[in-house]
């Protein structure tokens, strides 16, 4: 098993307070196993998420001075989601370092996308507290360098399938799944009907003159439904 010293060597940073690093690697499942209050990484995850957002928002703002808020927001969502964060966590071999309950370890917790993404965010939070903003900024930009290099703006604002995938994968590693459920009409005037699903749940159905158009229509309808639900939830949480 790699040690904390091995991890710090990969990070290129030695913690002054090693306790912060240990907390960042402690999964919440441990709190239910030991029967006593155990400090785990959820609070550091909360902090790290905000730090990552700030650093990458500033980087995008400076890299793409000609782009407006919409494309920049989409670019940030493409960079920061559960899948990309878990990917970065795997590259650092955080799974081997995670402190898990016996049950979580037995059931594949070290490779779980959510656990790796949360640990990466918690690690960023710990770096921020231990080393300060410039230290963590250097780390985040180094880890996201490949993703930033692949990013080109302006992003398409007329890409409902891409937008739906980004929206869904901001909170889940699973991609939406499209399937054709019917084809009707004469050969010269076909009508395709497509359904888009996520996590085994149907989001919407769309129609079009070909499979691609039907998938795009389904994605657009799913986006409208999801955004309406988000708006309704936000309105319910806003005090009068």
| Residues designated as active site | 49, 121
- Which one, of 229, 164, 159, lies nearest residue 196 by Cα? 164
What one-character DSSP code corresponds to residue 186?
-
Distance, in Å, from the CA atom of 219 to the CA atom of 20, rounded to the nearest integer, reads 42
Distance, in Å, from the CA atom of 218 to the CA atom of 164, rounded to the nearest integer, reads 10
Distance, in Å, from the CA atom of 127 to the CA atom of 148, rounded to the nearest integer, reads 21
Across 32-184, the runs of DSSP E, i.e. the strands, are: 177-184
Look at residue 102 and give its three-state secondary structure.
Answer: helix
Residues 6+ positions from 114 with CB-CB distance below 8 Å:
82, 86, 173
Residues 6+ positions from 33 with CB-CB distance below 8 Å:
101, 102, 103
177 beta partners: 197
Distance, in Å, from the CA atom of 169 to the CA atom of 81, rounded to the nearest integer, reads 6
Residues 6+ positions from 145 with CB-CB distance below 8 Å:
none
Q: Which uninterrupted H or E stretch holds 143? A: helix 133-143
């Amino acid at each position: 098993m790699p040690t904390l010293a091995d991890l710090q060597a990969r990070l290129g940073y030695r913690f002054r307070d090693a306790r912060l690093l240990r907390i960042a690697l402690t999964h919440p499942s441990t709190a239910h196993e030991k029967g006593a209050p155990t400090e785990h990484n959820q609070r550091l995850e909360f902090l790290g998420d905000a730090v990552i957002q700030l650093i990458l928002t500033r980087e995008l703002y400076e890299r793409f001075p000609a782009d407006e808020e919409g494309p920049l927001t989409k670019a940030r969502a493409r960079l920061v989601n559960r899948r990309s964060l878990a990917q970065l966590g795997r590259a650092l071999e955080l799974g081997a370092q995670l402190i898990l309950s016996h049950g979580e370890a037995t059931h594949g917790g070290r490779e779980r996308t959510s656990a790796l993404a949360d640990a990466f965010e918690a690690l960023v939070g710990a770096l921020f507290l231990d080393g300060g903003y410039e230290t963590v900024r250097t780390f985040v930009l180094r880890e996201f360098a490949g993703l930033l290099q692949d990013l080109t703006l302006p992003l398409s604002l007329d890409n409902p399938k891409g937008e739906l995938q980004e929206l869904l994968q901001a909170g889940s590693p699973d991609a939406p799944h499209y399937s054709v459920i019917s084809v009707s009409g004469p050969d010269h005037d076909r009508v395709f009907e497509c359904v888009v699903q996520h996590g085994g749940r149907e989001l919407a159905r769309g129609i079009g003159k070909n499979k691609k158009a039907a998938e795009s229509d389904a994605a657009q309808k799913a986006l409208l439904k999801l955004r309406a639900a988000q708006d309704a939830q936000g309105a319910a949480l806003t005090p009068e």
